[in-house]
């Protein structure tokens, strides 16, 4: 079985964002990193390879030249080779554009399983996997916390959904998006990092894949959410109850 695992280079959202005078995001002092949800996807692919179920794991990213760094981070966890679809300004691409590019990659690579993260932690779309499934005509199993490929060419996927969990069975090839309880991603080992440097990393472009994209969603600026102020500390349960009853009036 061949697996394609996608990775996105995201902004590290642990820092507080700053805005420029024209309401754009000030990216000058923000670090980038591998999207945390993609670590779960890559880990799952690598585990399937270690179990002998996957025969090849390809790491794919749509992003700038610099994204090779995040791809190497993923390749240090495992996997065989990388495929970077180079775009200069990933920020201006919307999810449907990314999905169209990834659909061209799926057509070319013909994987049996595509594993994406469920969410980009910076732009928080939760869309690309589902769009890719439609564009490729493949079944989808999103928010996966359990993945069991069985022998008959199907996979059983446990999904985290509102109200509990749900199991679905999808015929391979299929599209899976990873949730955080799918596994515990490994830290890349030193030998892993050394090996990753030598793994092949092919660079292509949307044009070479025969895709031209025109984003439908256009950003018109950012704003900061209203700040919440720290309130007061109370000394006892009795004082807390008094405040809730008589000051906040949220409890009778």
Partner 1 sequence: MSNILVVAEHLEGKLRKATLPTIGFAKKAQALTGGKIIGLVLGHNAASVAAELATAGVDHVILVDSAIYADYLAEAYAPAVAEIAKVKGASIVAAPASTTGKDFLPRAAARMDAGMISDAIEVFSHNGAVAYKRPVWAGNLIARETSTSAITAVTVRMTNFDAPAAGAAAPIETISLGFAAPDDTQFLSFDRVKSSRPELTDAAAIVAGGRGLKSAEAFKMLEELADLIGGAVGASRAAVDSGYAPNDWQIGQTGKIVAPGIYFAVAISGAIQHLAGMKGSKVIVTINKDGEAPIYQISDYGLVADAFKAVPELTAALK
Least gap, CB of 229 to ligand FAD (angstroms):
20
- Per CB under 6 A, the list member of 36, 56, 146, 169 interacting with ligand FAD is 36
Q: Is 6 in the site for ligand AMP (CB under 6 A)?
A: yes
**Interacting residue with ligand AMP among 32, 35, 136, 142 (CB under 6 A):** 35
Q: Of 91-110, which residues contact ligand AMP (CB under 6 A)?
A: 95, 98
Q: How many residues bind ligand AMP (CB under 6 A)?
A: 23
Please give the distance of CA 61 from its chain centroid, rounded to a whole number.
10
The smaller minimum CB distance to ligand FAD, of residues 1 and 11, is found at 11
Q: Are 68 and 84 in contact (CB under 8 A)?
A: yes
How far apart, in Å, do the first and last CA atoms of the chain sit?
A: 61
Q: Residue 31: in which H helix or E strand, if any?
A: none
Does residue 160 belong to the site contacting ligand FAD (CB under 6 A)?
no
**Between 209 and 244, CB nearer to ligand AMP:** 209
| Residue pair 210/70 in contact by the 8 Å Cβ criterion | no
Nearer to partner 1 by Cβ, of 190 and 232: the residue is 232
**How far apart are alpha carbons 200 and 30 in whole angstroms?**
29
* Footprint (CB under 8 A) of partner 1, residues 74-103: 94-96, 99
Q: Residue 105 is encoded by which pair of tokens?
A: 């990659």
């Amino acid at each position: 079985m061949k697996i394609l695992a996608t990775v996105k280079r995201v902004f590290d959202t642990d820092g507080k964002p700053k805005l420029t005078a024209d309401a754009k995001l000030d990216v000058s002092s923000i670090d980038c990193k591998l999207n945390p949800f993609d670590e779960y996807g890559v880990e799952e692919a690598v585990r399937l390879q270690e179990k002998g179920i996957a025969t090849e794991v390809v790491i794919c990213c749509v992003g700038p030249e610099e994204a090779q760094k995040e791809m190497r981070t993923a390749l240090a966890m495992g996997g065989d080779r990388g495929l970077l679809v180079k775009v200069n300004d990933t920020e201006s691409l919307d999810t449907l554009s990314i999905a169209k590019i990834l659909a061209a990659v799926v057509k070319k690579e013909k994987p049996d399983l595509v594993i994406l993260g469920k969410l980009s932690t910076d732009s928080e779309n939760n869309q690309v996997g589902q769009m890719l499934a439609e564009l490729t005509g493949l079944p989808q199993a999103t928010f996966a916390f359990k993945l069991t490929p069985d022998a008959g060419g199907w996979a059983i996927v446990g999904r985290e959904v509102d109200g509990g969990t749900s199991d679905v069975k999808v015929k391979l090839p299929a599209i899976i998006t990873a949730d955080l309880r799918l596994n515990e991603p490994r830290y890349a080992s030193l030998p892993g990092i050394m090996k990753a440097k030598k793994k092949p990393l092919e660079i292509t472009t949307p044009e070479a894949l025969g895709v031209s994209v025109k984003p439908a969603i256009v950003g018109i600026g950012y704003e900061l959410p209203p700040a919440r102020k720290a309130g007061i500390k109370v000394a006892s349960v009795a004082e807390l109850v008094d405040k809730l009853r008589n000051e906040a009036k949220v409890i009778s």
